[in-house]
A and B are shown apart, each in its own frame.
Chain A
Amino acid sequence: MARLEWLQRQIEGIKEEHVIENREHSAAVRLQSWFRGCQVRARLRLLHRKATIIQKVWRGFRARNQFRQMVKKAYFVMKMNFYNEMAIRIQRRWRGYYVRKYIHNYYALKRYLEGLTIKNEQVRKDLEEFAELQRREMERLAREREGQRKCLQAQRLHFLLSTEQCPGVFNSPYRDFPHEMELRLRSIKPLLAKNAPLRRDSGGSPACSLPPVPSKKPQGPFRDPAEVLQQRYRPLEPTLRVATSITALEEAREELRREEWRSRVIDDIFQPFSNAHKNRKYERTLHGTSSYEQVDYGTKYFREENKEKRQGEKLLFFSLGLSQNHPGARVHSPIHVVQLLGQREQSTVLTCVTRSRGS
């Protein structure tokens, strides 16, 4: 028991010692750790300071380099701007000059337009003069024609000239001075029938040129105006004898000769009833031969007719493709076939071929 209490008191004492030891231990540990911390912090501070210094120096170095670059670039840019400015000024001046002189030359255009106005005035004046000239020319022609017409009229009416006894139509005693027609009548020579100008037919009725026969029947033994006109304008009906020209016979002969020369095809003279050419072989003309229809030979029969004469020669059985009944028949070339034949068959073949061509 006592031991136990002693032990317990020891325990408590030991506990207190432990507690005190621990307390001291932890205090020591705290002190040491604090101190170590201070050391380390001081070290770190030193390191920081040094690192800062290094970084500072390095950054300054870098920055200065960059700055130098920037300055160089800015200077370059400034220079280029300046050059550009100056170049723009030069180009502006040049472009202005060039455009104003060559492309859109205001003064040249103005001069051109002035020249154009002058030219236009000139042209207008010329055209006016020309029109004036033409007008005068036409007036002159019209006046001349008028004068000629009046002259002609005067010549036709020359009988209206006034005489000493009897004043004419245009020289009435009540007038102060004679009419111009009267003066004209005095000055001209009468018109001879052979010199009269041909009256131009207007294409209408021939009654236009004469004064119209009045329809009111005049008093007296006058004939019907229609009859009179008919008689006046009866057309010329020359007899056949009058109408034929004097050389009609020769002309007709010439015509016949020419006709004959043109149309004659056969030069042999026609000699009727003449025995002279009885023995001559009659040649049929080509026109008379062809009949424009299918020939029997070649369709109905193929064989030769005069066999006796031909026995010596080769007989060729062929179809020239003339028959339409044998569509599958082989067509030899007509030229080869003809060459193989003798002379007589050639003529018949030719006629057959022409017939086939014609059909």
Chain B
Amino acid sequence: IQLEVGFRPQSLEPLLLDVVPTIQQTAALALGRLASYNDDLAEAVVKGEILPQLVYSLAEQNRFYKKAAAFVLRAVAKHSPQLAQAVVDCGALDALVVSLEDFDPGVKEAAAWALDYIACHNGELSQAVVDAGAVPLLVLCIQEPELAVKRIAASALNDIAKHSPELAQTVVDAGAIAHLAQMILNPDAKLKRQVFSALSQISKHSVDLAEMVVEAEVFPAVLTSLKDPDEHVRKNATTLIREIAKHTPELSQMIVNAGGVAAVIDYLGDSRGNVRLSGIMMLGYVAAHSENLAMAVIVSKGVPQLAICLAEETEDHIRSATAWALGQIGRHSPEHARAVAMANVLPRLLAFYMDAQSSDDLQAKAKKALKSILQKCTYVPALEPLLHEAPSNILKHVICQFSKVLLHDSKARRLFVTSGGLKKVQEIKAEPGSLLQEYINSINNCFPEEICSYLCFLFALEQLSCFQTLPSNQQECF
């Protein structure tokens, strides 16, 4: 649409009142296109008080006019909550709800779309839409044979249910879940996107709602949609699984038993970028509930996949989600921590923690994950590199773990010395009486006195003669 600067929508107003219906419809269509282009124009439309006129004639005129009027209302309401509030204030809701009952599917689609854009901004507007009695009619619209009407009705229910648990409960009480669940098997991709999104918005609020969604027998069908060619369908399906899994261990158990974890891990392998986020979070939630579930995630080969995600992704929020998920998996027991450590994840987490450029959220999550994994980790080859690089607050956990392991395992002790770990331990300065000092003492007690003092001596020599390198035979003589 080519516009002149300073074009006023008020000039279209007399055309709306024209006798010839075609002119009215065209004028309304033009208004709608103007309003949807730019929000200043939409404001001008509102200020010019054209909306009450439109609402009044929405009730009476023929279906083309109704479609055009609903288009204008939608175009105005989509820009901001204030404009949507203005639309609601003109009494548009009742007229739109009445036109939802119209026979023509085009009118229904336009009305449902306008209601969708009104409801998407915030909770009060959605409440107003619900109070106008739109929800049962939307549920009826979902059952219509036309695809466009179904899509828009599903999208409207999605936007209504996402704001609060009460609104989601209202949507559920109207019997929406059964119809939405039936539409999962529909071949159309856009419809499936909306359906999954609606179901996930409903189930995210509380356990009861999630259980109701599960009872509608969505489960094996959702896993097949994880292989859908359309990317957004896959993403929304994963979001639905995540929202269901996060509430209770029983729901997660049910998802795991249905093979959901394997499907999500495959999905993570196939997708790239931002869409991986919900899959990663789903694995994190499942592993967080109990150690059996975390073991199930490990067994389904989740940890290598998460390590790949950690390595490949560049966005900070995805990395922090991956760090969180790995922390949840590894924190339960030494077995879990071993599985996580064997995937070579710890040095990367440490790098994220130390990197000054990573965001605060990433650093915090990486640190927490490292700590929780390290507190249970007894896998020495993974602890070794950390010994050399870690800062002091991480280092004390590493030393603690070493002190626990080295007490009992003689082979590990030999390896520890030969790999230079003991030397590094001597180099660490710790305040006497702190925990770190205690751990260092307990490590030193595992080895004969001479070795420790020899290594101290070597370290002191190095400190003093930094320009000279020691002859190598001295280092080998013990």
Contacts and interface: CB of A to CB of B under 8 A. Distances in A.
Interface of A: 109, 112-113, 116-117, 119-124, 127-128, 130-131, 134-135, 138
A130 B257 contact: no
Contacts of A122: 259
User: By CB atoms of chain B within 10 A, which of A116, A123, A134 has the most?
Assistant: A123
A122 B223 CA distance: 12
Contacts of B266: 124, 127
Contact of B229 (A124, A127, A128, A134): A134
Interface string B234-251: 000000000000000000
Given A122-B259, A124-B262, A138 B292 contact: no
B161 interface: no
7 contacts: A113-B299, A120-B259, A127-B263, A128-B227, A134-B227, A135-B229, A138-B229
B127 interface: no
A127 B229 CA distance: 12
Given A116-B256, A116-B296, A127-B226, 7 more contacts: A109-B292, A113-B296, A116-B299, A119-B257, A124-B262, A127-B224, A134-B229
Contacts of B299: 113, 116-117, 120
User: By CB atoms of chain A within 10 A, which of B256, B257, B300 has the most?
Assistant: B300
Interface of B: 223-224, 226-229, 256-259, 261-263, 266, 292, 295-296, 299-300
A124 B263 contact: yes
B262 A120 contact: yes
Contacts of B223: 123, 127
Contacts, number: 47
A134 B228 CA distance: 8
Contacts of B295: 109, 113
A164 to B, nearest CB: 49
B405 to A, nearest CB: 23
Contacts of B258: 123
A60 B295 CA distance: 72
A68 B263 CA distance: 77
Contacts of B263: 123-124, 127
A123 B262 contact: yes
A109 B333 CA distance: 15
> Shortest 7 CB-CB distances between A and B: which pairs?
A123-B259, A120-B262, A131-B227, A113-B299, A127-B227, A120-B300, A119-B259
B187 to A, nearest CB: 10
Contact of B227 (A112, A117, A130): A130
Contact of A116 (B226, B227, B228, B300): B300
Nearest to A131: B227
A116 B286 CA distance: 15
Contacts of A120: 259, 261-262, 299-300
A219 B259 CA distance: 73
Contacts of B228: 134
Contacts of A134: 227-229
A135 B227 CA distance: 10
A72 B194 CA distance: 84
